[in-house]
Amino acid sequence: MGHKPTIWRLIPQLRAPGWVQMGVDEWLLDRHRQGSHPPALRFYTWSRPTISLGYHQRRYPAFWHELQWQGQPVSLVRRPTGGRAVLHGGDLTYSIVTSGMSGTRSQVYRKLCEFLILGWRRLGIPLHFGDRDRGEYARRHSCFATATGADLVTSDGTKLIGSAQLRRGKAVLQHGSMQLSPHRELFDRVFGSVPDSISHSWQRGVEPAEIDAIVATLMQAARECYNVKFVVRSLSEREWQEIYSKIEVLKSQFSSLEIRNS
């Protein structure tokens, strides 16, 4: 007889601005670290094109602050996790908050990627970890310009998923972008080129029903990989109040940073 499944909270898909998404992820990590929230999984999309900077990324082009796309400013936010900049829009993001996982940071990272590999294989796209040098990755502004051992790539080496991780005590946050139908023209405008990882992606838009099918497949994969039972629960009004307080802190920290634009 197998072990009893662990209870994880599944937060329904959320489409929202970048600061809201980052605030929710930070809030979940803090609450879980304090022992007042169970492990959680969620999937989300971005309500407008957004560039998320890695937490330690201090250099980026000054013109990113002035970017416009289809009459709207392109948002700029900072992730709580590391890595390089990611252009969101046409992607699906996953986020896991959990704890008690043994092993090195790399081993935990690979463990938390297992459900992505299993789920996408069932969706007809086998994935494996990249093999590019971390030094090459660090020299690029864009997360999707190269694929390291922390990324998931297709059989032809095309990067589909870029993820990042943050540990606080025994708690870990891992989230990542799955590039479904990225804005090629905007990607070129932001980074000055369109890498293979973007050129390869679906040429047409992904319909909401297709995203729902992807999420359902990945959820089932997570159940099997981590022996969990999901309890679906939306964020409450009280939780949103706490999250909005967190967002104000994140925005204040971001505006106070000394950024060296390149």
User: Which residue is it, tokens 């390869």?
Assistant: 200
110 sits in which H/E element? helix 105-122
CA separation for the pair 124, 115 (Å, rounded): 14
Do 100 and 207 meet the contact criterion of CB atoms below 8 Å apart? no
Q: Which of 96, 143, 145, 221 is an active site residue?
A: 143
| 225 among known catalytic residues | no
For residues 107-136, one letter each, b for 16 or more C-beta atoms within 10 angstroms of the residue's C-beta and e for the rest, the string is ebbebbbebbbbbbeeeeeebebbebeeee
User: Rounded to the nearest 5°, which phi and psi values hold at 77?
Assistant: -135, 165
CA separation for the pair 65, 1 (Å, rounded): 56
Q: Which residues are catalytic?
A: 143
